[in-house]
A and B are shown apart, each in its own frame.
Chain A
């Protein structure tokens, strides 16, 4: 028995020396070369499987296996398998490189003025191979009306995302929304439009064809002209009944021709806004 022990130990040592093994890189960056060191002797088949890559090649044990940058472009987990008599495996992660582009989602593209939490933006930084950069980075958001900054906010990415939300401004017009991260920037535009009409005022006069009635320039409560095409409803009430006419705003003013021969009360409304009443006497 005592004689057998040294023999067993020698055999085990010999097997261990002959068996292949490998060491995967502790970390690797997308698009950069990496190496896997192997030990043992003789030939083996090397397999690499990862996101977007799968290949096998013959390698000499005891040397380094060079992983080309082009095979490590996608961030994620990679599996290396080395097979001679038996197979050994190792896994390693490839992480995203430096931010090279920003995906910037801004909503909405068109918004009424003076609305709380109406404008929002989300930024996702990607490296040159479109891997999501998960390392925290500071993103600066800025909103401009013309050249005047109306909102600025800095936010650190968390899990690869930074975002903001704010109210729309008081004036109609283009709102420029900028996001920047280091040297990278992205720009979007939000069209701010007038809100609902406010303080509708009408005037009218009797003509041969009936009553011609029109609004004063229609504006929202902040004084912005309400967009053309917004519908204004005129209602004529006389002893014989009631009639309504819908008219779109054209060049800031809505007009309608009402057929009402008797004494008439005309009212106006647009959306939830009501205007003044107009009393017109009967046709002479």
Chain B
């Protein structure tokens, strides 16, 4: 009986933990204007889930300066650039926090064969820059990202993530 309760508590704690990690990243996706292929409902849900996971991973990687969160959500150029960011932060002792993330995402292109989707993300968050754990800069930022995602075996992966002044 005690063992069952312990397992239940652990499972509950684990799910609450992942819920907490997810809840700090708010993502809204509008795929109604995607062309030339329309985005199926299940695909839209999968992209929303995987894009939110990607930002949770970015926040963790750049706050704790670890490469592990980048596995699974990123591929190609985005993975390379983020890995470079983490390794250079490890060297310099800097870190970044992305607090209260909110992403308004619009799908603007979905390839005829469904092998690439382009998203425009207007992201808002509180950016904190820390030097050896000491806060040196904090500001509320609004950043526009052009995002390319491609399907993998069981998920959508961020292949390209590029901030631009405007869409």
A interface residue numbers (CB < 8 A to B): 45, 47, 49, 51-56, 74-77, 79, 81, 83, 87, 89, 91, 93, 95-96, 105, 107-108, 117, 120, 122, 124, 130-132, 134, 158-161, 163, 165
Contact = CB atoms under 8 A, between A and B. Distances in A.
Contacts of B129: 47, 49, 79, 81
24 contacts: A51-B81, A51-B162, A54-B88, A54-B91, A55-B92, A74-B81, A74-B84, A75-B163, A77-B143, A83-B136, A87-B136, A89-B137, A93-B163, A96-B162, A107-B115, A120-B113, A122-B116, A130-B77, A131-B77, A131-B162, A132-B160, A134-B164, A158-B109, A160-B118
Given A56-B92, A120-B111, A132-B146, 11 more contacts: A45-B131, A51-B85, A51-B161, A51-B163, A52-B81, A105-B116, A107-B115, A159-B108, A161-B109, A163-B112, A165-B36
B148 interface: yes
Contacts of A83: 136
A49 B143 CA distance: 15
Contacts, number: 114
Secondary structure at chain A's binding surface: helix, strand, loop or mixed?
Answer: strand
Interface residues of B, number: 40
B131 A56 contact: yes
Interface in B85-106: 85, 88-89, 91-94, 96
3 closest cross-chain pairs (CB), A and B: A52-B84, A120-B112, A77-B163
B162 A47 contact: no
A165 B164 contact: no
Contacts of B113: 105, 107-108, 120
Contact of B112 (A87, A107, A132): A107
Nearest to B109: A161
B85 A159 contact: no
A45 to B, nearest CB: 8
Contacts of B36: 163, 165
A91 B161 CA distance: 18
B41 to A, nearest CB: 23
A49 B122 CA distance: 20
Contacts of A163: 36, 109, 111-112
